[in-house]
């Protein structure tokens, strides 16, 4: 494959440069492009990695069509993985002589069925593996790849959420544990398959059965007594685990298991109250983060001597206003940051934290969609660029603020504001 001289000598126009900025191009690259008219040949000669970046991030079909014929495979494979690459480009790259290019086509969510069918017979196993993983691969392709001689390819089918039950039943008996444990975590795996895998000799397989939301109560009860702690932790984390099982695991000798129960939204109040006094801080933090934790528990944990626990309460959208008001004055900046980010924080708290001495805290307010317009307007002039960028990324920032930030002295702030304005205007870029 080669690029014609005409392609290389074409000037990189303003539309392409603007697209580069929107997609996050570095300041030095943008400055170089704007200094004077540049051709694609000059861009390659100056820095090949910039051509690779363009291939990976461009949203302009004409640019991607051009770069799909680049002489360098490591440019073409970035085009192959670009979600904006048109079908005709993907069809062409599916026949590329380099396997790395073909397997990125196999991964691409926009690759048409005909391309996936062709790549399913590729001589390189990695290419077939990515076809096996692709959510758009048709059933007939998945059925064929489920019998592939290479275990990694079968593993890709086991991972695919669209794999039919009959295929998963077959793969549940695969000789390789790596294949079986992906079947164990697949949401489509039927009860009979999960029951079988719950007795698998490999703990990793049993762990994924323990985590699977479709695992029946009898299976979860059995795995809750597994000799391997990680398996019990999987049951502890499962929102489908019955109350009796969670109550038992709340007294497990292993802290990671108790923490799984503490984080579980299905854990009953009595269990959460008990775990809120656990001697291990990570367990208490799990309760602090749990949206099901009662107010009295959150009030208690808000005064915990360990900052990580208080951070958990500050993050919790269920924390009452009085608790958030108290934590907004916490000595730990990360606690205040999580309060600043919390969608439940009242306006008065957000106004106070918008003047916090720590820029990280002010950025939390800037990112909060619940922050009032007046606060966002003030933070749009903050001396810290990260704070201004937070405002630029905020869906609640008014257009006038975004337009001002689109001319900010900091390139990252300008880019974020322009991206948000594009979204508001319905521009797919």
pLDDT recorded at residue 426: 58
In the chain the domains, ranked by start, together with CATH numbers, are 1-111 (no CATH), 344-429 (1.25.10.10)
CA distance 90 to 143: 24
The pTM for the full model equals 0.83
Q: pLDDT tens-digit profile of 227-261?
A: 999 999 999 999 999 999 999 999 999 999 999 99
Report whether 90 contacts 112 (CB < 8 A).
Answer: yes
- Rg of the chain, C-alpha, whole Å: 27
**Greatest Cα-to-Cα distance within the chain, rounded to the nearest angstrom:** 74
Q: pLDDT tens-digit profile of 258-278?
A: 999 999 999 999 999 999 999
82: left (phi over 0), alpha (psi -120 to 50) or beta: beta
pLDDT recorded at residue 24: 85
**Spans of the chain, pLDDT less than 70:** 1-8, 425-429
CA 181 to chain centre: 22
CA distance 259 to 275: 8
Query: How many residues belong to the chain?
Result: 429
pLDDT recorded at residue 372: 97
Report whether 261 contacts 267 (CB < 8 A).
Answer: yes
Q: Looking up tokens 């950025």, which residue turns up?
A: 363
């Amino acid at each position: 494959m080669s690029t014609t001289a005409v392609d290389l000598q074409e000037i990189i126009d303003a539309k392409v440069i603007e697209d580069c900025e929107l997609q996050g191009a570095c300041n030095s690259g943008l400055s170089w492009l704007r200094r004077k008219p540049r051709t694609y040949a000059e861009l390659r000669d100056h820095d090949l990695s910039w051509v690779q970046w363009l291939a990976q991030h461009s949203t302009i079909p004409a640019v991607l069509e051009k770069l799909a014929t680049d002489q360098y495979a490591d440019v073409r494979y970035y085009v192959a993985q670009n979600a904006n690459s048109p079908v005709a480009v993907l069809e062409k790259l599916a026949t590329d002589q380099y396997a790395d290019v073909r397997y990125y086509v196999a991964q691409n969510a926009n690759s048409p069925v005909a391309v996936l069918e062709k790549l399913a017979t590729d001589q390189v196993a990695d290419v077939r593996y990515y076809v096996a993983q692709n959510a758009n691969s048709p059933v007939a392709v998945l059925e064929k790849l489920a019998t592939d001689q290479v275990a990694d390819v079968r593993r890709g089918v086991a991972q695919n959420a669209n794999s039919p039950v009959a295929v998963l039943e077959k793969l549940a008996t695969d000789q390789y544990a790596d294949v079986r444990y992906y079947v164990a975590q697949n949401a489509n795996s039927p009860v009979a398959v999960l029951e079988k895998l719950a007795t698998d000799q490999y703990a990793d397989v049993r762990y994924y059965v323990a985590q699977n939301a479709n695992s029946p109560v009898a299976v979860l009860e059995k795995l809750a007594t597994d000799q391997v702690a990680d398996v019990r932790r999987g049951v502890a984390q499962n929102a489908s685990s019955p109350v009796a099982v969670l109550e038992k695991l709340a007294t497990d000798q292993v802290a990671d298991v108790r923490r799984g129960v503490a984080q579980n939204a299905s854990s009953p109040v009595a269990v959460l109250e008990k775990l809120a006094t656990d001697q291990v801080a990570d367990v208490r933090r799990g309760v602090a983060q749990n949206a099901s934790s009662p107010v009295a528990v959150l009030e208690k944990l808000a005064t915990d001597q360990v900052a990580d626990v208080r951070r958990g309460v500050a993050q919790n959208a269920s924390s009452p206003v009085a608790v958030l008001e108290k934590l907004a004055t916490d000595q730990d900046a990360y606690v205040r940051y999580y309060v600043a980010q919390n969608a439940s924080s009242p306006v008065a708290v957000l106004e106070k934290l918008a003047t916090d001495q720590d820029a990280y805290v002010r950025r939390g307010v800037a990112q909060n969609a619940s922050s009032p317009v007046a606060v966002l307007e003030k933070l749009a002039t903050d001396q810290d660029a990260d704070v201004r960028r937070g405002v630029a990324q905020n869906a609640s920032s008014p257009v006038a603020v975004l337009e001002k930030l689109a001319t900010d002295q900091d390139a990252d702030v300008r880019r974020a504001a322009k991206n948000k304005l594009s979204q508001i205007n319905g521009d797919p870029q």
